Amino acid sequence: MPGTNLIVPVVLWGKHAPTHCVSSVYLSRDQKTLVTGCYDGQICIWQVDPDSLKMTPRCLLVGHTAPVTCLSRASIIQDNNFIVSSSEAGEMCTWDLVDGKCRESVKLSQIHTNIQVLRPSSRKDDVVLAISITGTVKVWSLLGHENKQSEPIYENESKQIRCLNALSLNCCAYNQRTVLIVCAKYCQIYDAGDFSVLCSIQAPSGERWMSGDFLAPDRVLVYSTEGKGYLYKLPA
């Protein structure tokens, strides 16, 4: 009976760790796991002590050939240990945070700059909302039978708004009636029905907005390139 050979890969580096210029960041809900993507295409998993905020590198993932543009959890389920990454080369991978293995990899023609996991409330159709860098908002309705072989899906609604070079778009998960769009110099809250502007927030002097999200129906957190976060209470 032929014997089996077990091969265990071992990676070592010298006195200095590999360069890791961070291009994207993901922090788990329990704030114990930090994932950073870098311009070299590598992804590092860090163990974080919530009390001391000490970070210890645990795993280095190699699978992208271009800068990692965005990282996101792969499910809204709390115990899910998978994340999704995307690169400037159109590579999208699913990683296991426990053992660092790449579970799935696909090459796309599109370059993703943001990934968000959503679980729509009980309704007959799912809605996809997107914005272009020229400020065109588009809405698609999905009926559940779409697949790769189906005909192209065209938008149901399209509207031009005064919002150029948007960095992120986030729908309020609490009421599904408002949308936060962040640009470098300002961020705006829109009505999800007719996309009228409800309010606008200018970036502080000398800073540029990076992204933001809803913490409650009437509260948003927006953070800047200076590493500062700003909490705003929306007008009634």
pLDDT digits (tens, 9 = 90+) for 203-221: 999 999 988 888 888 889 8
The answer to whether residue 142 scores a pLDDT higher than 70 is yes
Alpha carbon of residue 209 to chain centroid: 16
Q: Could you tell me the pTM of the whole model?
A: 0.56
pLDDT given for residue 28 in this prediction:
83
Structure tokens at 10: 């071992």
Alpha-carbon distance of 46 to 115, in angstroms, equals: 20
**Domains in the chain, CATH or no CATH each:** 17-117 (2.40.128)
Question: Hey, is 3 helix, strand or coil?
Answer: coil
Who wins on pLDDT, 77 or 37? Answer: 37
Integer-rounded Cα Rg, in Å, for the chain is 20
pLDDT given for residue 94 in this prediction:
93
Query: Which residues, in sequence order, are CB contacts of 107 under 8 Å at separation 6+?
Result: 89, 90, 91, 92
pLDDT given for residue 1 in this prediction:
47
Averaged over 13-24, what is the pLDDT?
Answer: 79
**3-state secondary structure string across the chain:** CCCCCCCCCCCCCCCCCCCCCEEEEEECCCCCEEEEEECCCEEEEEEECCCCCCEEEEEEEECCCCCEEEEEECCCCCCCCEEEEEECCCEEEEEECCCCCEEEEEECCCCCCCCCCCCCCCCCCEEEEEECCCCEEEEEEECCCCCCCCCCCCCCEEEECCCCCCCEEEECCCCCCEEEEECCCEEEEEECCCCCEEEEEECCCCCCEEEEEEEECCEEEEEECCCCEEEEECCC
58-93 residue pLDDT tens: 888 988 999 999 998 887 666 678 899 999 999 999
Averaged over 190-200, what is the pLDDT?
Answer: 89
Alpha-carbon distance of 51 to 32, in angstroms, equals: 10
pLDDT given for residue 135 in this prediction:
87
The answer to whether residue 6 scores a pLDDT higher than 90 is no
Who wins on pLDDT, 38 or 12? Answer: 38
In the predicted model, what is the mean pLDDT of the chain?
84
The answer to whether residue 143 scores a pLDDT higher than 90 is no
